[in-house]
Homo-oligomer: A and B are copies of this chain.
């Protein structure tokens, strides 16, 4: 395969944006989380546009999304002459940093030690309240009234609590954690990553902005698939589920692309 300087890049973007229903504000969240998560990090409106334009995001859609994220207290902006600079708020930074370990780790969730929590049976409204409380505390729902998390925390109130190791994960539970749509997402992602890697291997060196575009798309499809299911080790998912294979391929690809510095991005179009 031969690639003209332009051709390989548009081909790569097309391969990786197989998933069409992306929200622009959500892509910007990914972009800041990947490239500008530290205190003091900021990106100009011009650079944001340069990174997102290849994804076919229109300037008007970009403006609406930035407006929404400012209103939600996720980002803040500042004028400097004719340029606008955007950065994460303290809250946006906090949320980004909370999501990062799961996105960037090469290790699947540890298989225990586990804490299993049985909530009090009762009317639906009372159960919903308990469920909310337990989800905030990091529990994953197993079935009605039954919740699981790693056991490094004290027992929650008013529940039967057991600490130990999970000896058997039945098929009905694997199918709950790794649904058919999750299996399909990862299969499509793996296919796209494989095809992209084949293109990248014969391409010229990407510019810093091209790297930023490609990283943003890859982290975004990975983040969306990852956060659509609970963070559990491989044995909690069906055989056909390719989540862990995708993890390795995503992180290898990001390593190969490298991380462009914010200064380089602003200086080189």
Given known contacts A118-B142, A143-B145, A146-B118, A167 and B172 CB-to-CB distance under 8 angstroms: no
Q: Nearest CB to that of A114 among chain B residues?
A: B162
The CA-CA distance from A11 to B2 in the complex, in Å, is: 106
Q: Fill in one digit per residue for A170-188: 1 if any B CB lies within 8 Å of its CB, else 0.
A: 1111000000000000000
Looking at the assembled complex, report how far the CB atom of A161 sits from the nearest CB atom of chain B, in whole angstroms.
4
CB distance B145 to A121 under 8 Å?
no
The CA-CA distance from A114 to B162 in the complex, in Å, is: 9
Looking at the assembled complex, report how far the CB atom of A204 sits from the nearest CB atom of chain B, in whole angstroms.
51
CB distance A166 to B162 under 8 Å?
yes
- Which of B142, B144, B162, B171 is within 8 Å of A165, CB to CB? B162
CB distance A168 to B172 under 8 Å?
no
**Contacting residues of chain A (88-120) with chain B, CB-CB under 8 angstroms:** 113-116, 118, 120
CB distance B160 to A168 under 8 Å?
yes
Copies of this chain, count: 2
Interface presence of A169 (CB below 8 A): yes
Q: Fill in one digit per residue for A203-229: 1 if any B CB lies within 8 Å of its CB, else 0.
A: 000000000000000000000000000
CB distance A159 to B170 under 8 Å?
yes
CB distance B172 to A143 under 8 Å?
no
Give the chain B neighbours of A7 by CB distance below 8 A.
Answer: none
Interface presence of A21 (CB below 8 A): no
Give the chain B neighbours of A173 by CB distance below 8 A.
Answer: 118, 160
Give the chain B neighbours of A172 by CB distance below 8 A.
Answer: 120-121, 158
- Which of B113, B144, B158, B162 is within 8 Å of A170, CB to CB? B158
Give the chain B neighbours of A168 by CB distance below 8 A.
Answer: 155, 159-161
Residue with the highest number of chain B CB atoms closer than 10 Å, among A143, A165, A166, A167: A167
Interface presence of A233 (CB below 8 A): no
Give the chain B neighbours of A138 by CB distance below 8 A.
Answer: none
The CA-CA distance from A113 to B165 in the complex, in Å, is: 11
Interface presence of A76 (CB below 8 A): no
Looking at the assembled complex, report how far the CB atom of A187 sits from the nearest CB atom of chain B, in whole angstroms.
26
27 pairs of residues in contact across A and B, judged by CB atoms under 8 Å: A114-B162, A115-B167, A116-B116, A116-B164, A118-B142, A118-B146, A118-B173, A121-B143, A121-B172, A144-B145, A145-B146, A155-B168, A157-B170, A158-B170, A158-B172, A159-B168, A159-B170, A160-B168, A160-B169, A160-B170, A161-B166, A161-B167, A162-B162, A162-B164, A162-B166, A163-B165, A164-B165
